[in-house]
Every structure is written in structure tokens, then in C-alpha cells.
């Protein structure tokens, strides 16, 4: 990143910087590993919805996973084919559902019986038919029988297996929707691949149940969740997609002609983005010193919201290292990026890089304190 220091010094901070070369390398790896098994990847637009990023992802032939009507429209704008767009979300509005139906998207990931009924009603009004996948609550015990017991946690996401018979009954009465698949998502930033093995085992059991009901599913959607290495972003800049997909290839029993889909967000874009910010002041406290920078949680909320760790580097300085609390200008005490960060000796106007911010960084910015919307620059473009 230091190679770009001259460019960075000409740009108004704070801004997001995207290493498009790294995005390419990441996409090459995802594609190569998914193609080995014929798996389909939908990029989770919620992680980063910038057009140049979406357009590059599209070039590799992936689809998208959207959670709002605007994400569906943005995907179309970036050139994704409607038949490769999945639309999830626990609270879709009528307008958003209509956008999906009118554009003949791949499938709605549906989370409740009322939602199935509303989708059917809107499809009927539009004189269309649409595909749905059922998002199943993964909080199920690893035993087929227990899926239909009442001891399961209520959860905002997904449909519980114990409600499945009712869902199938309702589905039979809905003539404008077709059940094509089932969908799961067990969480995000998962680094223990064994969790995905457990997911495979659950899906196998659930598939048996559907087979007993004589229902054929065209596709399984295993969601996203593969984590990235926030501690060592330079050493591990491309996640281990080979091991990830191999787990599913080895443990998930697909039925003949059944297709396996994924919704990866963070693992695709997380490492290619950094937040670049300038040091405004170095302030000496009683026991500490603070590097006060011109970005705050308005530009990257992950540390304040999830106590998330991001690597931080002073790319302007070659002075001996010292410790700093790296803090922002927002009038809230949670507005710090990390405490006791070891940085090269820091002074006013140095450029600080906060790394691994490509996913859930720029998309989660706000204008609190009337902050100026943050800009984005891309390594493969002329940046002025």
C-alpha cells in the first residue's frame, strides 16, 4: 500500500481504497475452487455495493444475494442476470417483492408463511409465477426427529422445521409460487470450518425429511459466512476457499441434478478494502498518547459496534514504533479504532491505513455529526 503513498497524499481523507488486483486474485480463487465441484456463488451485496466492485465480480460469472429491492436494482445496474439474483430478508415490502417478481429473479429466500402468501398474492396480481426457497432455521438439533419437536428456539430468521408440515400444506394452495429449494445461513466471520461440516450434516438430515414428503428440491443454498484473517491481512489476503468448498463437496449429499449455491460476502471483498485516514493531532495524555485521525465510526463502525479488530498501519512514517490509541473525531467515547496500537512514530498529517475494511465498511457508514459521505478510490482507476 505504501507504493500508493504519493497518490494518497493528493486525495482528501478519509476515503476507502480498493485494491482491485487483490479482488481479482480473490475472485480467481473463488471461481477456480467453486468450479471444481460445479457450485454456484452469489455475492452478498450487503457486504459492499459499490458499482466498480460489483462489475468486477460480475465479470467472473457469479450471481448476487440481495436483502433489499435497491440491492436487486443495483445488481441489475451492474449487469448481473436476473436469473442469478437471490432475494433474502426477513421483512421484504410489497414494492420490493414486486421488483423481484417483475424481474424474474432466481428465487426469493422466504422466511415465514405470511411472506409466502404475500409473494403469491403479488405474483398473481402481476400475472406471474415465481420461485421460492425456504430459509430454514439452522438452530435445529442434529437429529431428524428433534427437528419437529417443540424445543426449538424462536428466531427472527428462517422457518423452524417443526412448522414445515404446515408450510407445505399452505404451499399446495398457492398457485403462483414454486418451491425450488431450501436455504441456510449459520452466521458470519466463521473461521472454524467444522461449523460448516455440522451445517452439511444438518442439511443431509433435512433433505431426508423432504424426500420422505416426496418433495424434490432443485437447489440447496448454504448461505455465506466464511471468515477472513483480520489479524494478518497481508499474509492471508485470500481466504482458503479450497478447504471451504471441499467441506461441502465431501459432506453434503446432493441429490441427482441438485445444484449447490453459496452467498459469500466478507470472504470476497473484506481484504481488498482499506480505510485511509489522516492524523489530525497527536495528543499526549497522562499515561497514553492519542492519534486523533479524521475518520470516525461514521466511516467504519465495526470496532464500535462489534469490538471488531482491524490492523492499523502508519504508512507515512519510518520512525521508531510507539503505542497510540487511534481515535476519531466523533463526540462519543466509543469512537476509537483500537487502543494501544503499535505504530511507527506518528505525527500530524501522516496517513493511517485501517485494513480489512472492504466488507461491511463503506456500506455501514452514516452521516452522524453531519459528516461528509466518504469517497471511494480504486487501484485500477485514475484517482483525482
How many residues touch ligand LLP under the rule CB under 6 A: the total is 20
- With CB under 6 A as the contact rule, the residue among 63, 69, 224, 273 that binds ligand LLP is 224
- With CB under 6 A as the contact rule, the residue among 30, 49, 72, 88 that binds ligand LLP is 88
Question: Judged by CB under 6 A, does residue 360 bind ligand LLP?
Answer: yes
DSSP lists the bridge partners of residue 291 as 282, 326
Nearer Cβ to ligand LLP (58/266): 266
Question: Judged by CB under 6 A, does residue 273 bind ligand LLP?
Answer: no
Dist. CA 185–CA 223, nearest whole Å: 4
CA atoms within 13 A of residue 286's CA, in its CB half-sphere: 0
Nearer Cβ to ligand LLP (267/298): 267
353 touches 3 (CB < 8 A): no
Max Cα separation, the chain?
Answer: 71
Q: How far is the CB of 227 from ligand LLP (least distance, A)?
A: 7
Dist. CA 172–CA 175, nearest whole Å: 7
Q: Which stretch binds ligand LLP (CB under 6 A): 183-191, 205-213, 237-245, 345-353?
A: 183-191
- With CB under 6 A as the contact rule, the residue among 265, 303, 328, 358 that binds ligand LLP is 265
Nearer Cβ to ligand LLP (225/324): 225
Question: Judged by CB under 6 A, does residue 47 bind ligand LLP?
Answer: yes
Q: How far is the CB of 65 from ligand LLP (least distance, A)?
A: 6
239 touches 230 (CB < 8 A): no
- With CB under 6 A as the contact rule, the residue among 202, 266, 355, 371 that binds ligand LLP is 266
Q: How far is the CB of 350 from ligand LLP (least distance, A)?
A: 27
Q: Which stretch binds ligand LLP (CB under 6 A): 31-39, 147-155, 208-216, 220-228?
A: 220-228
Q: How far is the CB of 207 from ligand LLP (least distance, A)?
A: 19
What is the contact surface with ligand LLP in residues (CB under 6 A)?
A: 44, 47, 65, 88, 185, 188-189, 223-226, 263-267, 302, 306, 359-360
Amino acid at each position: 500500500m505504501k507504493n500508493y503513498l504519493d497518490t494518497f497524499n493528493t486525495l482528501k481523507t478519509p476515503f476507502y481504497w480498493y485494491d482491485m488486483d487483490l479482488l481479482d486474485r480473490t475472485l480467481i480463487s473463488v471461481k477456480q475452487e467453486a468450479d471444481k465441484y460445479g457450485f454456484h456463488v452469489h455475492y452478498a451485496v450487503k457486504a459492499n455495493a459499490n458499482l466498480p466492485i460489483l462489475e468486477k465480480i460480475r465479470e467472473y460469472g457469479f450471481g448476487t444475494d440481495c436483502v433489499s429491492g435497491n440491492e436487486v436494482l443495483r445488481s441489475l445496474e451492474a449487469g448481473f442476470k436476473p436469473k442469478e439474483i437471490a432475494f433474502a430478508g426477513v421483512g421484504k415490502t410489497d414494492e420490493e417483492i414486486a421488483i423481484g417478481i417483475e424481474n424474474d429473479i432466481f428465487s426469493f429466500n422466504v422466511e415465514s408463511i405470511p411472506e409466502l402468501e404475500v409473494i403469491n398474492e403479488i405474483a398473481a396480481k402481476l400475472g406471474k409465477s415465481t420461485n421460492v426457497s425456504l430459509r430454514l432455521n439452522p438452530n435445529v438439533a442434529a437429529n431428524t426427529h428433534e427437528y419437529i419437536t417443540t424445543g426449538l428456539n424462536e428466531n427472527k430468521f428462517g422457518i423452524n422445521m417443526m412448522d414445515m408440515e404446515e408450510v407445505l400444506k399452505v404451499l399446495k394452495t398457492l398457485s403462483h409460487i414454486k418451491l425450488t429449494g431450501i436455504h441456510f445461513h449459520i452466521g458470519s466471520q466463521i473461521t472454524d470450518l467444522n461449523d460448516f461440516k455440522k451445517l452439511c450434516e444438518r442439511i443431509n438430515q433435512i433433505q431426508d425429511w423432504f424426500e420422505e414428503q416426496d418433495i424434490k428440491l432443485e437447489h440447496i443454498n448454504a448461505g455465506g459466512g466464511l471468515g477472513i484473517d483480520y489479524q494478518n491481512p497481508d499474509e492471508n489476503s485470500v481466504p482458503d476457499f479450497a478447504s471451504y468448498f471441499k467441506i461441502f463437496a465431501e459432506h453434503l449429499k446432493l441429490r441427482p441434478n441438485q445444484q449447490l449455491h453459496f452467498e459469500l460476502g466478507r470472504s470476497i471483498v473484506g481484504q481488498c478494502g482499506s480505510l485511509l485516514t489522516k492524523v489530525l493531532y497527536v495528543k499526549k495524555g497522562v499515561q497514553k498518547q492519542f492519534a486523533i485521525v479524521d475518520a470516525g465510526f461514521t466511516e467504519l463502525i465495526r470496532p464500535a459496534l462489534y469490538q471488531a479488530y482491524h490492523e492499523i498501519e502508519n504508512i507515512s512514517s519510518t520512525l521508531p514504533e510507539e503505542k497510540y490509541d487511534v481515535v476519531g473525531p466523533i463526540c462519543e467515547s466509543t469512537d476509537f479504532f483500537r487502543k494501544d496500537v503499535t505504530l511507527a512514530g506518528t505525527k500530524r498529517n501522516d496517513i493511517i491505513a485501517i485494513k480489512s475494511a472492504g466488507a461491511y465498511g463503506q456500506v455501514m457508514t452514516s452521516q452522524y455529526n453531519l459528516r461528509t459521505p466518504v469517497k471511494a478510490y480504486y487501484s485500477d482507476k485514475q484517482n483525482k
